Amino acid sequence: MSELVTRRNLITTGLAAVAGYAGLKTAARIADRFGLLPPDHQGLFGVGETLTYASQRILMSGHPLAREFSPSEISKVAPINGKPPESDDYHRLAGGQFSDWRLLVDGLVTRPRSFSMAELKSFPVREQITHQACEEGWSFIAQWTGVPLAHVLNLVGVGERAKWVVYYSIQDDWWDSMDLPDAMHPQTFLAYGFNGHDLTIERGAPVRMRVARQLGQKSVKYLTRISVVDSLKHIRDGLGSGSPSVGFSWYVGI
Amino acid sequence: MSEHVAHPIGAFGQESIWKGNKCEWDDLRNLAILSVLEFLMADSVSVPALTIPSSASATSQRHSAVVRITHWINAISFITLFVSGIAILLAHPRLYWGETGAVGGPSLINLPLPFVLDISVINIRGAGRYLHFLSAWVCVLTGLLYIVSGVITRHFWRELLPSKSHLAWHSLAQTISNHLYFRRPREEEELSYNVLQRLAYLTVVFILLPLMIWTGLAMSPALSSAFPWLRTAFGGQQSARTIHFFVAVSLVIFLLVHVVMVIRAGFRKRMRAMVTGQSSASRTTK
């Protein structure tokens, strides 16, 4: 056993540890520069998150589309998670068929403004039948109708320093963000229809985010505000989403 | 590690660093790299051939450094993957076939487990997904190191691939009956794997673990958009999830049998071989 604890081995181990730490720091800086560093990259778990996010961003640099299914493949059962908002504001909006509802788009954009339901519906309509999996393990196929987020972002003009798109729900603890490649992806959109009908209150009326290539938690319901930013560090807990603080990853392309 | 001095790389490393009592950064870096290389190679190149007479040494080389290091790192990641896998499974302990599945629709198997959504039950933030993905990376990266080194050192051909004589009916039957009757292995079996071990290890390394990685990747909505065959090969995301579960069960059964066999064959001796690389059994001429 004494052969294992020689001076040489101690020196080697020490050097390897220092080199490893410096290597990780440098790797993180390089990853950040190329947009390969997720907001929840801190700590030991952050190493795994960064490896997953960075490798997937590299593998998906061609922006592939999620598979789209035929109408006959739409699931008969599509469960709903979570309860509708209980605030008076939301009840008032719902009572008026959401005619008073506005979606604010601000941050690093040239022309910040808000959109009404009628405006969103006047934009090019996108329909897709895609698979949606929940973090819990269940999944369903459904048809979603809406306007591509890219269309709205192009209308307000995304600034040069922009890196992330943060989006908020009427439900205060449900907020999330995504990188620009996901935000500009043609299958990422502001959904107002589900299987041929307007979104019901349980499904997120009037408008929810729909991110086809990530798990359901990213598709935040009851949208109120979208904000384009260059850093997530100073937004709430700095982890880019409400999920990491309760044990779920920020990036759920998984 | 007594072969250090004779090793040409080792001699070079020692000479260049201490010249003129000056410690150059480049030399230090070279020494670090060379020492690691040397540590990894020293054992694998110094494995004596089985033909060395038994009087040559009291102890024999059993497992190379790469095998030992990757074994223990993977043992840890196996346990953390198992624990976090259970945490993830408990969120929805039902299995389906095809692309989709949810409560209210047809299921393949309803596991007799409770639905546990509240992760505070486990009371460690990140004990589920965060731990599972970190452990998966550790498992995959050390697994790759093991595979590459196993190919370079011909570990798979020399120690794991069963020979024709292993697979002959009478020898296969003998080994199976030894196991069925829980006969203790003979001493020379401490120096090489029997045919059932070889087949079990090869199955785990080249079938079960790759299948585990594949089904894991197939569940990813992002990766399956880039590589649809990841998912369609199994008939859908839920099929991949179900296979992921059953392969995990197979791996757990392997682990249990593995541990029982290690205890049965002599826990201290086998642990010593996997920790220090040495076996007290003497090599005999075959």
Same domain, yes or no: A112 and A32: no
The pLDDT of residue B126 is 64
Interface probe, candidates A3, A8, A188, A239, chain B, greatest B C-beta count within 10 A? A8
Instruction: Tell me if A66 is assigned to some domain.
Output: no
Tally the domains of chain A: 2
Do A120 and A26 lie in a common domain?
Answer: no
Please give the pLDDT value at position B178: 84
pLDDT of res. A174 = 92
Check CB contact of B180 with chain A, cutoff 8 Å: no
- Which of B30, B25, B2, B3 minimizes the C-alpha distance to B15? B30
B282: confidence class by pLDDT, cuts 50, 70, 90: low
Assign domain B47-160+201-252 to a CATH class.
mainly alpha
In angstroms, how far is the first alpha carbon of chain B from the final one? 26
pLDDT range class, residue B29, cuts 50, 70, 90? low
pTM (predicted TM-score): 0.84
CB contact under 8 A, A9 and B104: no
Q: Is the pLDDT of residue B21 over 60?
A: no
- Residue B131: pLDDT above 60? yes
Do residues A114 and A9 share a domain? no
Claim to verify: residue A99 and residue A204 sit in the same structural domain: yes
Residue B139 has φ and ψ, to the nearest 5°, of -60, -45
Q: In a mutagenesis test of the A interface, which of B30, B41, B220 is the best target, namely the one with the most A β-carbons within 10 Å?
A: B220
How sure is the predictor about A159, in pLDDT bands with cuts at 50, 70 and 90?
very high
Residues A151 and A225 in one domain: yes
Assess if residue A207 is contained within a domain. Answer: yes
Specify if A253 maps to a domain.
no
pLDDT at B277 over 50: yes
pLDDT at residue B122, as a whole number: 52
Which residues of chain B are within 8 Å of residue A67 when distances are taken between CB atoms?
Answer: 224-225, 228
For A121, half-sphere exposure in the C-beta direction (CA atoms, 13 angstrom radius) is 12
The least confident of A118-122, A196-200, B261-265 is B261-265
Residues of B with CB below 8 A from A69's CB? 99
Is B209 touching A (CB cutoff 8 A)? no
Q: A216: nearest CA in chain B?
A: B221
Q: What angle do CA A76, B89, A80 make, to 5 degrees?
A: 35
Are the Cβ atoms of A64 and B137 closer than 8 angstroms? no
Mean pLDDT for chain A overall: 93
Amino acid B11: pLDDT: 36
Percent of chain B with pLDDT over 70: 72
Residue that wins the pLDDT comparison between B209 and A82: B209
Q: Is B91 on the interface with A (CB under 8 A)?
A: yes
Instruction: Please report which helix (H) or strand (E) contains residue A44, including its range.
Output: helix A43-59
Least confident of A102-106, A232-236, B86-90, B185-189: B185-189
Pick the residue with more confidence: A29 or B7? A29
Lowest mean pLDDT among A154-158, A242-246, B206-210: A242-246
Q: pLDDT tens digit string along B67-121? A: 999 999 999 999 999 999 998 999 999 999 999 999 999 999 999 998 887 655 4
pLDDT of A60 above 60: yes
B28 touches chain A (CB under 8 A): yes
Q: Contacts of residue A253 in chain B, CB cutoff 8 Å? A: 220-223
Residue A103 carries which side chain, given as an amino acid letter? L
For chain A, the first-to-last Cα distance in angstroms comes to 43
Min CA distance, B71 vs chain A (Å)? 18
Residues of chain A with C-beta less than 8 angstroms from the C-beta of B35 = 8-9, 11-12
User: Looking at the predicted structure, is the pLDDT value of residue A101 above 60?
Assistant: yes
Q: For the stretch B115-133, what's the b/e string if a residue is b when 16 or more beta carbons lie within 10 angstroms of its beta carbon?
A: ebeebeebeebbbbbbbbb
How far apart CA B102 and CA B4 sit, in angstroms, is: 61
Q: Give yes or no for a cis peptide into A206 (omega within 30° of 0).
A: yes
Q: What is the mean pLDDT of chain B?
A: 79
Q: How many Cβ pairs within 8 Å bridge chains A and B?
A: 140
| Nearby residues of B277 by Cβ (< 8 Å), 6 or more positions away | B43, B61, B62, B63, B64, B65, B68
* Close Cβ partners of A99 (under 8 Å, ≥ 6 residues apart): A116, A117, A118
B93: closest chain A residue by CA? A137
B224 in Cβ contact with B230 (< 8 Å): yes
Confidence of residue B14 (pLDDT cuts 50, 70, 90): very low
Backbone conformation region of residue A165, classed left if phi is above 0, alpha if psi is from -120 to 50, else beta: beta
Q: How confident is the model at residue B166 (pLDDT cuts 50, 70, 90)?
A: confident
Same domain, A126 and A43: no
The predicted-structure confidence for A26-53, as pLDDT tens digits, reads as follows: 888 888 888 899 999 999 999 999 999 9
Looking at per-residue confidence, does B57 or A82 come out higher?
A82
Mean pLDDT of B157-176: 87
Tell me the mean pLDDT in the region B157-181.
86
Bigger pLDDT: B119 or A106? A106
Shortest Cα distance, chain B CAs vs residue A127, angstroms:
17
Residue B25, pLDDT score: 47
Residue A251 inside a domain? The answer is no
A81 with A162, same domain: the answer is yes
Based on the domain organization, do A169 and A230 belong to the same domain?
Answer: yes
Task: Spell out the residues 6+ positions from residue B24 whose beta carbon is closer than 8 angstroms to its own.
Answer: B17
pLDDT value for B254? 97
Instruction: Tell me: do A94 and A49 sit in the same domain.
Output: no
Considering the domain architecture, whether residues A52 and A120 belong to the same structural domain is answered as no
pLDDT, position A130: 97
- A95 pLDDT more than 70: yes
State both tokens at A102. 């506005």
- Cβ–Cβ contact B254 with A under 8 A: no
Does residue A54 sit in the same domain as residue A95? no
Does the residue A65 lie in any domain?
Answer: no
pLDDT beyond 90 at B186: no
Out of A80-94, A182-196, B168-182, pick the least confident: B168-182
pLDDT (0 to 100) of residue B241 = 98
Interface confidence, given as ipTM, is 0.90
CB distance B102–A246 less than 8 Å?
Answer: no
- What is the tens place of the pLDDT at every residue in A10-22? 888 888 888 888 8
Q: Which domain range does residue A12 map to?
A: 2-59
Q: How far is B54 from chain A, CA to nearest CA, in Å?
A: 23
Question: What residues does each domain of chain B span?
Answer: 47-160+201-252
Q: What is the CATH number of the domain that holds A240?
A: 3.90.420.10
Per-residue pLDDT tens for A204-241? Answer: 999 999 999 999 999 999 999 999 999 999 999 999 99
Chain mean position to CA A247? 16
Searching chain A, which residue's CA lies closest to the CA of residue B2?
A: A3
Shared-domain flag, residues A191 and A79: yes
A115: in domain:
yes
Contacts of A76 in chain B (CB under 8 A): 105
Question: Which of A118-122, A234-238, B30-34 has the least mean pLDDT?
Answer: B30-34
Mind giving me the DSSP string for A174-224?
-EEEEEHHHHTSTTEEEEEEETTEEPPTTTTSS-EEEETTS-GGGS-SSEE
